[in-house]
Structure 1
Amino acid sequence: MTSPATPLYKRLLLTGAAGGLGRALRPRLTARCEVLRVSDLADLGAAQPGEEVQQVALQDRAAVLALLDGVDAVVHLGGLSTEHAFDDILQANIVGAYNLYEAARIHGTRRIVFASSNHVTGFYRQDEVVNPTMPVRPDSYYGLSKAFGENLARFYFDRYGIETVCLRIGSSFPEAKDRRMLATWMSYDDLERLVVASLSSPVVGYSVIYGMSDNHHVWWDNTSAKHIGYRPQDSSEPFRAAVEARQPTLDLTDPAVLYQGGGFVKAGPF
């Protein structure tokens, strides 16, 4: 989807740039800024034209403070993206998120696009439709950490005026892999559309939006996405026949089938 565009920011930071979504967004965001600063704990390779590369652990407060120096906006994908033991989640996702927001406050960064997760509401059933105003029901330590991140973002907006769009990302992969993903899937092109809309909308305040494509069956009411101009253009429907052939029946006694969080609702113990 990437096309020539007027840069939105002088320096944009992409954390978690070595992860699956980070790798997808990294080449797509260079047109949206004069300088793209990419960071991760993992190796990011050599800086590409228009990039700065920094290897940073989010739990290292001093390093994160330096990372935010000169940054106008952040796309924060960093941290652990699956279920782990709580102590690991605590450092990467909870302490790390606090360090990022505090560094943004100190340096005057005004907008953050925060990769939250559908697992914030994973213990709602698959026969329910959820909207961002409903109480959170985390399905895991991971989902719990993302609920903390959303509350952190709310506090930093109310107290310090740092705008955040919290993206409750569904399942962003090249294709829908199973029956659950027919509802939760988001293409990489729609991911880019959602992130760019979150960065470019004139006023976002504190917003919570589900990250999904224009799928036929959905569990999430994304009416609240309209004010940022996100309009998904892809759908999981082309994958339906192959998915249903692989999964012709479902075990309705399996919590992973009953609840929106899928396998996260029964991950662990650690």
Structure 2
Amino acid sequence: MPQRILLTGAAGGVGTLMRPRLARPDRVLRLLDIAPLPPAADGESVEPVTASITDLAAMVDACADVDAIVHLGGQATEGPWDRILDVNIHGTYVVLEAARRAGVGRVILASSNHAVGFHPLAETPVPDYRFPRPDTYYGVSKVTMEALGSLYHDKYGLDVIAIRIGAWFERPQDERMLGIWLSPDDGARLLEAAISVPAPGFRVVWGVSANTRGIVSLAEARAIGYEPQDDSEAYAEGLPPTDERGRTFVGGWFCSPDLDVEPKP
């Protein structure tokens, strides 16, 4: 039987980057999103599913015969509290609960550097299990994601790996990202390690490349078999400079009240 991986948020930016990199002759990618998905490419074995990660019944159905879930779906940046609560926090609960009900033994969660965004850069490298200091509602949702992952491992025995993603783009977009960039190829390497490592339990690992200016630990990621090969330094020339927040906190400009999406009295 081929290995079946459920990829939530498959139509998003990271999902689009990972889809061709996770394709294997002996693997079926079940691609879930509310947005349209491109048709299968040559040599790709895919099962598109149109569903919301907040719909428990649909998620249980989507988890049938699945070996592992890569949960990328959700609000990808700061947003109003109601949306963060529904899509990111409730959505993560739904994914984990659906996995439990369907008997899926492994879930990989897309956490974020913004779970520890207010950690000062004066105290780097940031450890894998650094205590949360979220910088936004979005960051709070990632802290909650990690907490839910811990709960579902301890109470129900799921293997859960939460990846604190730095900046997962084709290339760094500003000077701050030089310290936290995760290349697409290294991202795929990390996901493959998280999918294949035997009995990981619950873990929090940093998702970054082997950056010369790296600011976080790679100990836990390497412990599950991840060997990064890319370095953001190749793109350093000409990038926009980092502002004061970017030189002070892990979360950079996410730490500024200017990012607030709801008016404050």
**TM class by shorter-chain length?**
over 0.9
Residue 3 (structure 2) aligns with: 10
Equivalent AA in structure 1 for residue 192 of structure 2: V
Q: Deviations along 1:1-22, whole A, 9 cap, x unmatched?
A: xxxxxx9x62110011111110
1:133 shift after superposition: 2.5
TM-score when scaled to structure 2? 0.92
- Following TM superposition, the consecutive aligned residue runs of length 4 or more in structure 1 with deviations greater than 2 angstroms are 45-49, 254-257
Equivalent AA in structure 2 for residue 110 of structure 1: G
Equivalent AA in structure 2 for residue 73 of structure 1: A
Residue 268 (structure 1) aligns with: 260
2:182, 2:207 within 8 Å by CA — same for their partners in 1? yes
SS of residue paired to 1:142: helix
Residue 88 (structure 1) aligns with: 83
In 2: Cα distance, 1:178 partner to 1:19 partner: 21
Equivalent AA in structure 2 for residue 242 of structure 1: G
In 2: Cα distance, 1:186 partner to 1:100 partner: 24
1:94, 1:148 within 8 Å by CA — same for their partners in 2? yes
Residue 99 (structure 1) aligns with: 94
SS of residue paired to 1:113: strand
Task: Count matched residues.
Answer: 257
The farther-off stretch of 189-198 and 174-183 is 174-183
In 2: Cα distance, 1:228 partner to 1:33 partner: 22
SS of residue paired to 2:24: helix
In 2: Cα distance, 1:27 partner to 1:82 partner: 24
Equivalent AA in structure 1 for residue 251 of structure 2: G
Residue 215 (structure 2) aligns with: 219
1:101-250 aligned within 5 A = 101-129=96-124, 130-243=126-239, 246-247=240-241
1:127, 1:219 within 8 Å by CA — same for their partners in 2? no
In 1: Cα distance, 2:100 partner to 2:25 partner: 22
Q: Deviations along 1:133-186, whole A, 9 cap, x unmatched?
A: 321101111110011010101011111110011110111111112110110111
In 1: Cα distance, 2:223 partner to 2:171 partner: 28
**Do the aligned partners of residues 32 and 203 (structure 1) sit closer, same or farther apart at CA in structure 2, a change above 3 Å counting?**
farther
SS of residue paired to 1:127: helix
TM-score when scaled to structure 1? 0.90
The farther-off stretch of 90-99 and 39-48 is 39-48
In 2: Cα distance, 1:177 partner to 1:41 partner: 27
Equivalent AA in structure 1 for residue 144 of structure 2: F
In 1: Cα distance, 2:171 partner to 2:28 partner: 31
Residue 78 (structure 1) aligns with: 73
In 1: Cα distance, 2:60 partner to 2:205 partner: 27
1:33 shift after superposition: 4.8
In 2: Cα distance, 1:183 partner to 1:84 partner: 25
* Aligned partner of 1:35 among 28, 31, 50: 28
2:40, 2:46 within 8 Å by CA — same for their partners in 1? yes
Q: Deviations along 1:223-261, whole A, 9 cap, x unmatched?
A: 122221111100011112222xx43xx55xx33442111
In 1: Cα distance, 2:173 partner to 2:249 partner: 17
Q: Matched residues, percent identical?
A: 41
Q: Deviations along 1:183-230, whole A, 9 cap, x unmatched?
A: 011110100100001111112111111111111122211212222111
